[in-house]
Amino acid sequence: MFRLSLAAALLLLPLTATAEPNEPFKPGLGEIMTLQQMRHLKLWLAVQAGDWGLADYQLDELKEGFEDITKYYPTKDDVPTGTMAEAIIAKEVADLAKLIEAKDKKNFVSAFDRLTASCNACHQASKKDFIRIQRPTGNPYTNQSFAPPRK
């Protein structure tokens, strides 16, 4: 009985958030970019394992992250981050989408490298050139299989 009452009481406590009362939650740019880095890595691993469905999903998540940058941070520290994110969606994300649809692993690699270069160019323009993205060299997500599902 005591445990149930304690659990119920904990549910009634107000949750803390970064937004002011009555204001919608706004993720920080760093949080968005951390998720982008994870998606970038998972996109690579999915294609290397031949899981095109997961690759498509991760690319769509990357696109949504770039859209969030445009929405929440169209300009950051006088840098047009939204415009740069839109350009990545229009070119690199669109190119990768075509290659994923075609299951073209060979050409995916160079397109992925172009995406990575665009990320780094944005970091340089944002005076954050200490953030350098590269091709993944390992899998930190050992709790996820990147192999295609068995049919």
Tens of pLDDT, residues 53-79? 999 999 999 999 999 999 999 999 999
Res 15: pLDDT: 47
Q: Is residue 53 part of a domain?
A: yes
Q: Is residue 46 part of a domain?
A: yes
Is the pLDDT at 2 greater than 80? The verdict is no
- Token readout for 28 is 């920080």
Total domains present in the chain: 1
How many other C-beta atoms lie within 10 A of the C-beta of residue 25? 7
List alpha helices for 13-148, DSSP H: 29-49, 52-72, 81-88, 94-102, 105-125
Res 19: pLDDT: 58
Q: What is the mean pLDDT of residues 38-46?
A: 98
Q: Domain span at residue 42? A: 28-125
Q: Is residue 80 part of a domain?
A: yes
Q: Is residue 142 part of a domain?
A: no
Compare 66 and 20 and report the one with higher pLDDT.
66
Q: Is residue 112 part of a domain?
A: yes
Q: Is residue 61 part of a domain?
A: yes
Q: Is residue 16 part of a domain?
A: no
Tens-place pLDDT, residues 74-95: 999 999 999 999 999 999 999 9
Question: Of 7-11, 38-42, 105-109, 116-120, which range is least confident?
Answer: 7-11
Question: How far, in Å, CA of 107 to CA of 110, rounded?
Answer: 6
Q: Is residue 133 part of a domain?
A: no
Handedness of CA 8, 14, 18, 22 (dihedral sign): positive
